[in-house]
Structure 1
Amino acid sequence: MYHNRPHVEDLRAMKKRGEKISMLFVTTPEEAAAANAAGIHMLSIEGKFFDAEMREAAGDCFVQVGLPYGGWGRFEGRPIATGEDYLRAAFHYAGIGGDAYYCSASYDIQKLLCDNHLPVVGHIGLIPSYITWTGWRAVGKTADEALALWKHTQMLEKIGVFGAELEVVPDRVAKYLTENSSLLMLGMGAGKHADAQYLFTEDVCGYGKNHKPRHGKVYRNFAPELERLQNERIAAFKDFKADVDNGGYPEACHSVAIKDDQFDAFLEQAKNDA
């Protein structure tokens, strides 16, 4: 319970002071440890990647754990669907050291988590789990859509959510939502006025294989080095297979020896027991 990483109240204080917050999506302990070493404030980690090793690697970073959504993810071997499922998953990750819980389920499920004193992060704008209703596009470019985003923001506040991923929303709309809401706005493609700037590690490091989003920015391009390492890995595996095929592996130095007298004694006893 006692640690040096930020609490929700610390992040809220940063919002009030106008301090910018950095946030990354990570999937491995190496990425989490690098973010901690770099002083990144917040991490987003999907539940399927979050365990004690990830929590330790994340160090002083505030960790938002992504709860599986419906059939898109599983918890304890089954789809997560009911409020009880979400509550069980959130408390499980809380026990490991999660600091907040991303949930894009219905208002009643989000409220259930909030009513149980769990810090909840919702989602405003382009919500991947609802993509069949909107398509992959910016949300809020018309007055009606912008108003719907504002009403959604107000509802999240009402039920007790403390923050929201604000994804692919026009910058002026994002500014209004950020300045007129107590929610901590975690901006991804929402312009410079969001409380936090949130990117995926694969975009920051240039090794993403999916479509590069407009808001993505490559700070180091790992792709050529990762491709080189993969080619070297394949070459090593091929050499190993060839060595096995032609009897070159294992050699004597790879095997355990037994002294002649001990082996002879073994053979003698084995014959007597036959």
Structure 2
Amino acid sequence: MTRRTTVHDLRSQKGSRKWLQLHVDNAEEAAAAMECGITILSCEPDHNLESIRSAVPFAFLSVGMPHGAVSSQQEAIRLGFQMLKRGADSIYCSHSAYFIEAMAREGIPVTGHVGLVPNRATWTNFRAIGRTPEEALRVLRAVRDLENAGAAAIEVEVVPVRLADYITRNTPMITMGMGCGSACDTQYLFSSDVLGTHADHYPRHSKRYADFVALTAELQTKRVEAFRAFAADVASGAYPETRHQVDMDDAAFERFFTLAQSI
């Protein structure tokens, strides 16, 4: 790939291609994803954003607008443009369609969210959303609201596969599926779940392909071993050796000593 993936690229291939998508935490993860052909990424707008953008100049990068960060349409537009300037291709926003519409009117690509929305889980609890006909209809209404607001993409999280499939086939938005089988336009997971970087709860839809908790523990053991050996060498006089230091010849030191007497 020789140029950055755009909203137009994604929309023009909707229905004919399934995209892989990862939420990454740093530039190393982003570069590894890109090396594997994963060109749709998401991340937080923290200090890693610029380094992630630099590591994957051609990826499509959706950057999360912190929930509650804006309280007016003007603030949403201002923050949206700031995030685009920092390297985002799309602004993930779990705020209402009111804010999304304001950004979309200004040409800011926005990714909305339906189904299990963690920032609103107090209203639903953390569970599958849309199993009953009535709840499925509420999910669809939320999709239509975001679609009418001008969202470019929509995260569909933990809804029944048939509902996710219906949504995907009946909206022009790119559907980013997490916990929805293979029904959506993208197959989306968090790198922390894929890499096994934490010892906390893993959602049902996640799958661990590595055990970074064990690797991190092993690295910590190696750190302690190395630091302990360093301390022991200093205590015994084994470090530093002559090869670890520099010195002056006798003539240079004598000249220095003479000059030093004048200070």
2:236 aligned with 1:236, yes or no?
Answer: no
1:122 aligned counterpart, secondary structure: strand
- CA distance 1:229–1:35, change in 2 (3 Å): same
After TM superposition, the runs of 4+ consecutive aligned structure 1 residues lying more than 6 A away are: none
Paired residues for 1:1-274 under 5 Å: 4-17=3-16, 19-70=17-68, 80-83=69-72, 84-244=74-234, 248-273=238-263
- CA distance 1:160–1:231, change in 2 (3 Å): same
Inter-partner Cα distance in structure 2 for 1:52 and 1:260: 52
**Corresponding residue for 1:76?**
none
Is contact 1:100–1:120 with CA below 8 Å preserved after alignment? yes
Is contact 1:55–1:97 with CA below 8 Å preserved after alignment? yes
**Corresponding residue for 1:75?**
none
Give the superposition deviation at 1:165. 1.0
Inter-partner Cα distance in structure 1 for 2:125 and 2:149: 27
- CA distance 1:252–1:198, change in 2 (3 Å): same
* Counterpart AA for 1:96: R
TM-score calculated relative to the size of structure 2: 0.89
Q: RMSD value over aligned CA atoms?
A: 2.2
Give the superposition deviation at 1:249. 4.2
Is contact 1:36–1:59 with CA below 8 Å preserved after alignment? no
Give the superposition deviation at 1:100. 0.9
Give the superposition deviation at 1:206. 2.9
- Cα deviation, 1:240-262, whole Å, max 9, x if unaligned, reads 34445566544443334333333
Percent of pairs identical after alignment? Answer: 39
The runs of 5 or more residues in structure 1 that have no matched partner are: 71-79
- Cα deviation, 1:167-211, whole Å, max 9, x if unaligned, reads 111111111211111121100001221111101112222333221
Inter-partner Cα distance in structure 1 for 2:237 and 2:118: 52
Give the superposition deviation at 1:102. 0.6
Inter-partner Cα distance in structure 1 for 2:30 and 2:228: 32
Inter-partner Cα distance in structure 2 for 1:264 and 1:106: 78
The runs of 5 or more residues in structure 2 that have no matched partner are: none
- Cα deviation, 1:224-273, whole Å, max 9, x if unaligned, reads 33332232123223333444556654444333433333333333323212
Is contact 2:196–2:210 with CA below 8 Å preserved after alignment? yes
TM-score calculated relative to the size of structure 1: 0.86
- CA distance 1:263–1:114, change in 2 (3 Å): farther
* Counterpart AA for 1:140: G
* Counterpart AA for 1:25: H
Is contact 1:65–1:100 with CA below 8 Å preserved after alignment? yes
Give the superposition deviation at 1:55. 1.2
Is contact 1:35–1:58 with CA below 8 Å preserved after alignment? no
